[in-house]
Chains A and B, each alone.
Chain A
């Protein structure tokens, strides 16, 4: 993991060092100082205010301001409050949370403790994706270490605050990354996203007020508490503060993890940091925020910055900052088919449009890719996307429809070529390997 971390800022500053996952290392770098500060010098409300002031936005995908979310908890409720850390990182093209889980778990634990203190939670669950077996074990170990040192458990740091942190492993469903699907799964049920309202801040896990935050979001919290909201706001752009951990994959010379301030130009990320696309090939498209966001064609990325607003203005989303780079060896119909299969497989099956639509799209893309499609299929595909978009309980339907819709819109010629030629016209190169110098 360490060798694919190329660019770091305050979050990942120390993770390139061997042993960064240990408590001893973490304490040596000033770890758990923020927790001490929060518990000893700040009231819970002050922690929330500081996070609110910092402008920290959710790193899971939607970018909702974290402090505002915490503020939605009912005031003076008589039910316990829960914190859930969403470590079900399963969006294709996204592998940033894994870095924290594997290499710097104590930052996550400290963030979890501070956040729990801020929202008044005495139980926190870290819901980790089922495939992260080793990471779950490492996290358990780190939690034990922290507990033994008094950073978790009863009367933390002698300050009277109690917190237990539990690691809960998922069973391998993408849908359990959706916060209410996650909550259902945590309760031991099928991972069916819930109908909203009510939102988890009012009725979450076990019927109690619950805050669900992404791993990276939580990892920002100790730094904000330690260095202040003012410092944090100095990073990134006005509305997208801080840094972002970009997971770059696909056809670049140096794929991997890049922690850069929000607002970095896509072209900068690709050319300056990642070394550009492989020689002999040219850039075809970029998916900036995980597989479920609309694609940007190579000619659209000029001047587009990687922050929430710029991406939205460019007709896409920053999402989970999993940047997928496609060069001209990729067939967009094939890429669409690959994605559609993923979403059809992962659709929970509750809502009609997503359940049936994803499956139908697979069939259409499959026949298009194999040269058996008709021209009408292309419009049909676009219309199916329109019929799924914003018509389901959770955003999985949108996640499935948005990219396909954009592929059809932006690469229509390629789709038509498949029909006219009766075959896939792209000379595909599927022999991608991580370059040796990475």
Chain B
């Protein structure tokens, strides 16, 4: 336990960890001190000056972001002197700010806007007409990379983005050029801001200076609905918010989790929602008739499925997917076991490139739930070799396969083995080579449309939430389809939701021992056997 010191902020006596700054101590205790340049994931710059507070006995105001707490300090955040200094910083910033909030993408989540609303109610001394007279000090817009634009005249020079590129990515693309009021953020010649974490600077920009081209003019932020989820791009399991408008995903932004992704996500994950707009979404149940897949009714497809699975007489296998939740995979296992089968396999995931930054890492394994899928099946390793052999030798005649694996095509052997099956039920969201082999095909929800859990590469079990409803059609989570099939097969599977599924899984598999859907919470929980965190921060 760190040593504690006692300080008084605005008359409240607080016991705080020694070594903390006044700003951290205040924020930890719910005392709001405005701050622009301070960001918990970056070094202290102390340049915006808005977090100044009054410490009794000190001759000058102190910037609270750089002032370490001293035992016995009496601090005021609302004194006349502090309020005047705070309002003056806002006034200074606004003197040279275009005030184009009406067309600014950041409007609604702009710190300058919010703080001015809270602390900046003073007469406008830089009157509008004189402001219009001001020469344009810096050019208005500039392209920093294929992903990011800068509105340089909105910049408040907090240097967060510069520090991010120096400290988190270590790539150092951004810098200030020029001096004083003419200073502006720019990239070095021939070195655009293209690193794979670059768009984080848009999130940390306190104003609308740095903007994500993908989100530009897409939606006013106050219309966005935000829900907690997990990025499915790689096995790092970065915590994200999925933000949608009218059931359409508009933006994915990082959700802070000190054990996983700190405050950041990579651009590959951030922008991967593009495939939501693909036009090959599977919307209806389909069934193979005279060689091709034809849409059909749910009743029809269920007749075929139940008949075929019964006919296989226990020679049924389950094929899991690291793109699907633990619950979906576990549901496959439950159904296979109900049918008297025991053969389970998880297809191999795509191993791409990992990318290491000073304070972030993009995982090589491009699947969000590799560990979870295996654990749900009670398996140790990925691969379908055994399964293919059994199909080839006729020991397996039917299979239930999860899809959503967009990165990995079927291997030659898988393609030929699966083609030999008498019956292949595939649950998938988009057309894939696996779906093309199906005898029966059911439309599945994708990760943004369902509840469940993913386990990241460090063994952290994390929940994702339904952020949008599945596109028009009949798509639902895979486990729901599997439960319906189980019911149609007159199983006695007691199941109301993903929480029951997870709890049943936790009872069966040691890896999840002691966990429940509730205890995982918003920030996740580590598997007992695999404690560890991805980031040190």
Give the interface of A toward B (CB within 8 A). 173, 190, 195, 344-353, 355-360, 363, 376, 380, 387, 390-393
A380 to B91: give the CA distance in the assembly, Å. Answer: 12
Taken together as a complex, chains A and B put the C-alpha atoms of A391 and B95 apart, in Å, by: 18
CA A363 to CA B46, docked complex, whole Å? 27
Q: Shortest beta-carbon distance, A154 to chain B, in Å?
A: 38
Contacts of A380 in B (CB 8 A): 125
User: Which of B61, B85, B134, B182 contacts A363, CB < 8 Å?
Assistant: B134
Among all A-B residue pairs, the 7 with the closest Cβ atoms: A387-B88, A349-B183, A356-B92, A347-B180, A359-B181, A195-B46, A350-B47
14 other A-B residue contacts (CB within 8 Å) besides A344-B181, A349-B176, A351-B47: A190-B176, A195-B45, A195-B46, A195-B63, A195-B66, A344-B180, A348-B179, A352-B89, A355-B157, A355-B180, A355-B183, A387-B85, A391-B88, A392-B49
How far is A362 from B52 in the complex, measured between Cα atoms in Å?
Answer: 25
User: Do A359 and B130 touch (CB < 8 A)?
Assistant: no
A-B contacts, 21 listed (Cβ < 8 Å): A173-B179, A190-B175, A190-B176, A195-B63, A345-B179, A347-B179, A349-B157, A349-B179, A349-B181, A350-B47, A352-B47, A353-B88, A355-B157, A358-B180, A359-B137, A376-B125, A387-B91, A390-B59, A391-B49, A391-B60, A391-B85
Contacts of B179 in A (CB 8 A): 173, 345-349
- If A353-B89, A355-B183, A391-B85 touch, whether A360 touches B95 (CB-CB below 8 Å) is yes
- Which chain A positions have C-beta within 8 A of B95? 356, 359-360
Shortest C-beta distance, B348 to chain A (Å), equals: 48
Q: For residue B50, which residues in chain A have a CB less than 8 angstroms away from its CB?
A: 352
Per the bound structure, the CA–CA distance linking A390 and B85 in Å amounts to 10
- How near does chain B come to A359, taking the closest CB pair, in angstroms? 4
Contact A358 B47 (CB under 8 A): no
Bits for B49-93, please: 1 = Cβ < 8 Å to A, else 0: 110100000011101001000000000000000001100110111
- Let me know if A358 and B181 touch, CB within 8 A: yes
What is the bound-complex CA distance between A195 and B44, given in angstroms?
9
Most A Cβ at <10 Å: residue of B84, B95, B175, B180: B180
Instruction: Give, as a whole number of angstroms, the nearest-CB distance from B288 to chain A.
Output: 67
Contact (Cβ within 8 A) A356 B49: no
A173, A346, A352, A358: the one within 8 Å of B49 (CB) = A352
Please tell me if the beta carbons of A359 and B45 are within 8 angstroms of each other in the complex. Answer: no
Considering only residues 90-104 of chain B, those with a C-beta below 8 Å from chain A are 91-93, 95-96
Chain A residues whose C-beta falls within 8 Å of the C-beta of B89 in the assembled complex: 352-353
A390 to chain B, nearest CB (A): 5
Contact check, B49 vs A349: say whether CB atoms are below 8 A apart: no
Judge whether A348 and B180 touch: CB under 8 Å. Answer: yes
Chain A residues contacting B85 (CB-CB under 8 Å) are 387, 391
Check: B42 CB closer than 8 A to any chain A CB: no
* Cross-interface CB contact of B61 among A351, A355, A360, A391, cutoff 8 Å: A391
Residue interface bits B11-48, CB-to-A below 8 A is 1, else 0: 00000000000000000000000000000000011111
Nearest-Cβ distance from residue B66 to partner chain A, whole angstroms: 5
Residue from A345, A349, A358, A380 whose CB has the most chain B CB atoms within 10 Å: A349
- By a CB distance below 8 angstroms, the chain B residues around A387 are 84-85, 88, 91-92
Cβ-Cβ contact count across A and B, 8 Å cutoff: 90
Q: Are A359 and B180 in contact (CB under 8 A)?
A: yes
CA–CA, A350 to B45, complex, Å?
9
CA distance A355 to B184 in the complex (A): 12
Chain A CB within 8 A of B126 CB: yes
Is B418 on the interface with A (CB-CB < 8 A)?
Answer: no
Give chain B nearest CB distance to A253 CB in angstroms. 37
Chain B 174-192, CB-CB to A under 8 Å as 1, else 0, gives 0110111111000000000
The A interface is mostly helix, strand or loop, or mixed, namely helix
Q: Which residue of A lies closest to B125 (CB)?
A: A380
Please tell me if B400 contacts chain A, counting CB pairs below 8 Å.
no
Using Cβ atoms and an 8 Å threshold, which residues of chain B touch A390?
59-61
Residues of B within 8 A of A376 (CB): 125
Q: How far is the CB of B241 from chain A (nearest CB, A)?
A: 30
Least CB separation from B135: chain A residue: A363
Q: What residues of chain B lie closer than 8 Å to A173, measured between beta carbons?
A: 179
B124 CB, min distance to chain A CBs, angstroms: 12
In Å, the complex CA distance between A363 and B95 comes to 11
Closest to A396 in B: B180
Q: B50: nearest residue on chain A (CB-CB)? A: A352
Nearest CB in chain A to that of B88: its residue: A387
Query: In the complex, A358→B181 CA distance in Å?
Result: 9
Q: When the two chains form the complex, which single residue of B52, B91, B93, B137 contacts A391, counting CB atoms closer than 8 Å? A: B52
CA distance A347 to B52 in the complex (A): 20
Roughly how many angstroms separate A201 CA and B175 CA in the complex, as a whole number?
28
Query: Which residues does chain B contribute within 8 Å of A346, judged by CB atoms?
Result: 179-180
Give A351 Cβ to nearest chain B Cβ, in Å.
Answer: 5
* In the assembled complex, B249 has its CB within 8 A of some CB on chain A: no
Pairwise interchain contact B181-A352, C-beta atoms closer than 8 A: no
Q: Chain B nearest CB: distance from A293 CB in Å?
A: 18
A355 B181 Cβ-Cβ under 8 A? yes
Asked if B180 and A360 sit within 8 Å, CB to CB, the answer is: no
Q: Choose from A348, A356, A393 the contact partner of B96 (Cβ within 8 Å).
A: A356
Q: Is B467 an interface residue (CB 8 A)?
A: no
How far is it, in angstroms, between the C-alpha of A387 and the C-alpha of B96 when the chains are bound? Answer: 16
Minimum CB–CB distance from B161 to chain A (whole Å) comes to 15
| Residue of B with least CB distance to A357 | B92
A363-B130 in contact (CB<8A): yes
In the assembled complex, the Cα of A109 lies from the Cα of B157 at a distance in Å of 40
CA of A194 to CA of B326 in the docked complex: distance in angstroms?
51
Residues of B within 8 A of A356 (CB): 92-93, 95-96, 181
**Distance, CA A348 to CA B181, complexed state (A):** 8
Tell me whether B156 is interfacial, beta carbon within 8 Å: yes
Contact residue among A190, A195, A345, A352 (Cβ-Cβ distance under 8 Å from B92): A352
CB-based contact A352/B156 at 8 Å: yes
Binary A-proximity of B226-250 (CB < 8 A = 1, otherwise 0): 0000000000000000000000000
Minimum distance in angstroms from A138 CB to a CB of chain B: 29
Produce 1/0 per residue, B284-306, CB < 8 A to A: 00000000000000000000000
Contact A349 B92 (CB under 8 A): no
Chain A positions within 8 Å of B176 at CB level: 190, 349
A347 touches which of B61, B84, B156, B181 (Cβ 8 Å): B181
Nearest-neighbor residue (CB-CB) of A195 within chain B: B46
Bound together, the chains give a CA A376 to CA B137 distance in angstroms of 25
Q: Which residues on the A side are within 8 Å of B93 (C-beta)?
A: 352, 356
Q: Which residues of B contact A359 (CB under 8 A)?
A: 95-96, 137, 180-181
Query: Are A350 and B84 neighbours in the complex by a CB distance under 8 Å?
Result: no
